[in-house]
Chains A and B, each alone.
Chain A
């Protein structure tokens, strides 16, 4: 019993009630003219004492049960396939725009209704729901990173953090540098449990200051995090795919970010998605890549122990009731 606590400890003030049996006198016993006339009977004395003890235990157990004893919440160690994933979610206004494919440039009517942000959120919901052993943290960022959720494996909490972004327009500016730094900082104070992943979900890149680049390179190596960049590409934005055969210029922010992340020395992959399908495939890829053994501690909900105490009390009171059934009502009848 390491952490045995009460939800209503003040009810324990009723504990002195347990002494009542030693105070009270039986009213339903056969009457005698003078008790001293009765022969001394050790067995009777012992039984009387035992019954009083039973009553005391029953009262005490009932009071303790009423005070709501519980154990925990305890932490249980789980071993599974998963990772610690810090999601950095772009909350800039451009994420509110719908996906557009190349053929629909200039043809607004053809753009699909769902915004990039909404599609990304839905896929993230599916991704997180399918990975019960992951610990997720959620940061949303625009000009500043904001921690919406610290690492947790609670599916409801993760869903609440993702769906919170369903309402309201995006914010104006984007600072990917501070967002990545926040992702690094999220791991900094944690013990190393297993695979660490920073999952950047954004529709744009950034050229980072040499200062920031230096700090990030250091930080990423220190916390040993892998980086995945889910680049949601909009129409007219640059591609970061080398296979495109185009000259990738570092003057393009997306290419600059891609090159920088490649240079950090930690495992890194970029997924470029132009439409919901590609985004879905990228998420499946990450799901496949992140199958490492992870030892996580989950918080087991607290265990209510009142039932056991009531059971003890029930046993005692049952015996007392039985004793009274067996007892002589008077000297007249047997």
Chain B
């Protein structure tokens, strides 16, 4: 066990005994490029993790491994008690239990907002259209855009589209939400409405892993901040320690650059 994993499973953090996500010695290569180097991270249930670091540091790759949008070459990933590396059924199961929000929203442009939200629950969970629409409206109300249900994604602003994407993911009743730079493609005035939605979600106790450059969000919402550089986890700390007393030199350099 290296230093990062000891920090990651430090005692006193919530849900450490029955983690939502456990990554052990995860390695991934793109050709000869070592994208993830011995990544160890344990995320407790209900924990809010913010992952930051310079671009190309492996943040997105890491969270995309959790629902196997990317495959890993060695190591173990266990999500909600299901071992991803065992493959097959477990991968399907984990994808149903993790919701993901992308930088580019990735809404289905040929479907209305409501259809975007009902497709997966109907086809994957097999629930009826009426039920699916009820659930969809519930979550669209929660992200505060129920009145847009009949519109197509192209008719909405970026912030609204991203909130639809969050609602769409929530309709599958996920236990874990993954956010991959959810506000990076947004105009500045729309960042807040998306972050507010994420804060609401955090307050309801959702387990969240967020790759984001929004340091204000990290400080106020995160239980722990993970700093990555060149495919490695260099530092895992509470926001106070992370921002006020960063341990690693590269963390200090990174924080110096973005502030």
A and B co-occur in one complex? no
